[in-house]
Amino acid sequence: GQQLNQSPQSMFIQEGEDVSMNCTSSSIFNTWLWYKQDPGEGPVLLIALYKAGELTSNGRLTAQFGITRKDSFLNISASIPSDVGIYFCAGADQGGSEKLVFGKGTKLTVNP
Amino acid sequence: GAVVSQHPSRVICKSGTSVKIECRSLDFQATTMFWYRQFPKQSLMLMATSNEGSKATYEQGVEKDKFLINHASLTLSTLTVTSAHPEDSSFYICSASSAADTQYFGPGTRLTVL
Instruction: Report pLDDT digits (tens) over A36-83.
Output: 999 999 999 999 999 999 999 999 999 999 999 999 999 999 999 999
Structure confidence at residue B1 (pLDDT) = 63
CB pairs under 8 A between A and B: 66
Residue A50 with chain B: CB contacts under 8 Å: none
Average pLDDT rounded to a whole number, residues A84-100? 88
* A92: nearest CA partner in chain B: B102
3-state secondary structure at position B112: strand
pLDDT at residue A97 tops 80: no
Of A1, A41, A97, the CB nearest to B101: A97
Angle at A80 between CA A79 and CA A82, to 5 degrees: 125
Structure confidence at residue A105 (pLDDT) = 95
Q: How far is the alpha carbon of B83 from chain A, nearest alpha carbon, in Å? A: 24
A30-49 tens-digit pLDDT = 999 999 999 999 999 999 99
Query: Rounded to an integer, what distance in angstroms lies between the CA atom of residue A25 and that of residue A3?
Result: 8
Distance of CA B89 to the CA centre of its chain: 13
Q: Are B94 and A88 in contact (CB under 8 A)?
A: no
Of B103, B106, B107, the CB nearest to A100: B103
Compute the CA torsion angle B58, B81, B25, A3 (nearest 10 deg). -40
Q: CB distance A97–B102 less than 8 Å?
A: yes
Q: How far is the alpha carbon of A1 from chain B, nearest alpha carbon, in Å? A: 9
pLDDT at residue A1 tops 60: no
Structure confidence at residue A2 (pLDDT) = 66
Q: Which residue from B106, B1, B35 is spatially nearest to A35, judged by alpha carbons?
A: B106
DSSP for chain A, please give it.
Answer: ----EEE-SEEEEETT--EEEEEE-SS--SEEEEEEE-TTS--EEEEEE-STT-EEEETTEEEEE-TTSSEEEEEE-S--GGG-EEEEEEEESSSSSS--EE---EEEEEE-
Q: Are B96 and B71 in contact (CB under 8 A)?
A: no
Q: How many residues does chain B have?
A: 114
B95-110 tens-digit pLDDT = 999 877 788 999 999 9
Q: Are B95 and B4 in contact (CB under 8 A)?
A: yes
Q: CB distance A97–B44 less than 8 Å?
A: no
* B5: nearest CA partner in chain A: A42
Q: What stretch of H or E contains B109? A: strand B109-113
Q: CB distance B44–A102 less than 8 Å?
A: yes
Of B4, B45, B102, the CB nearest to A48: B102
pLDDT tens per residue across all 114 residues of chain B? 689 999 999 999 999 999 999 999 999 999 899 999 999 889 999 999 998 888 899 999 999 999 999 988 999 999 999 999 999 999 999 999 987 778 899 999 999 999
Percentage of chain A lying above the pLDDT 70 cut = 98
pLDDT at residue A102 tops 70: yes
* A99: nearest CA partner in chain B: B49
Strands A61-65 vs A10-14: parallel, antiparallel or unpaired: unpaired
Structure confidence at residue A109 (pLDDT) = 97
